[in-house]
Amino acid sequence: MNWLANIAGAALVLFVLRDVFHTLWHPTSHGGLSKLVMTGLWRLSASVTSRRRASGLAGPIAMVAVVALWSLTVVVGWALIYWPHMPQAFTYTAGLLPAEHSSFTDALYISLVHISTLGLGDIAPTAGWLRILAPLEALVGFVLLTATVSWTLGIYPALARRRAMALRLSHLSRTHPTAEQIDTDAGAAILDSLAAGISVLSVDFMQYAESYYFYDGDDRTSLARHITYVCTLADRAAGARHPDVRLSAAVLRAALEDLAVILDQRFLHTRGTPQQVFEAFAEDHGRHSGA
């Protein structure tokens, strides 16, 4: 039965490493475990009475939960590798009786010591292959720490870009540009900059899919609230007399369609038009719930 425990432990470790890879370093994919946790907490927040407050915490709490689950799974996986070989393949410091310290709890303790790189040395492997595996667990622990930092440093700039774009759209909608003002060189420049910003958001949603589950509480910084205004602006500009404005409007419309495809395929699954996708996006982020 020893080999069954070893295989189960190795499978858990490889599962977590695969999930970390797809979550952080594979921009066109989405880690299965992280997606399950993030989606589950997001949907749970929708059922809470204080939707605005609960949704605001869903993203940060889900990130913490994912990292904790990654770490716990790796610790358990390595413990399953150590446990069948205790106590005969380990050496114990004076005062510890091997027969009394060979339970699964002790294997978890060894795993925690190694993954945290503490290296206490009171229980250490003596078998050759275990002496190689123990430092490898320390390396995995370092990878998880690095992954957590990289994930945080990647998601929050993406959120800042999304909220900055929403704030700009809020400024535009509050100034109420007329058809004559849009049908100018300045109008074409504005449409071009909006198309470029929407393209950046599309990449952010692909690269950092988990950023979707962060709620933008302030109305002026909520992309879900203002994204439909861009569609209206593009439609108005499509009928302009200025050829540059019509071209810019077409580019903006294409950028919006790409963003709608990404949101729908990864999160909403409406299979509708871009307008329907953006309405579902707004509803999913609480814009139609009175939150």
pTM equals 0.82
Q: For 15-69, write each residue's pLDDT tens digit.
A: 999 888 888 877 655 568 888 888 888 888 777 655 555 567 888 898 999 999 9
Q: Annotate the chain with DSSP letters as a single string.
A: -HHHHHHHHHHHHHHHHHHHIIIII-TT---HHHHHHHHHHHHHHHTSSSHHHHHHHHHHHHHHHHHHHHHHHHHHHHHHHHGGGTTTTEEE-TT--GGGS-SHHHHHHHHHHHHTT----SEEE-SHHHHHHHHHHHHHHHHHHHHHHHHHHHHHHHHHHHHHHHHHHHHHHHH---HHHHSSHHHHHHHHHHHHHHHHHHHHHHHTGGGGGS---SGGG-HHHHHHHHHHHHHHHHT-SSHHHHHHHHHHHHHHHHHHHHHIIIII-----HHHHHHHHHHHTTTTTT-
Question: What are the per-10-residue average pLDDT scores of the chain (291 residues)?
Answer: 86 91 72 84 74 68 92 95 91 88 92 86 86 89 90 91 95 91 94 97 91 84 92 92 95 97 94 93 68 37
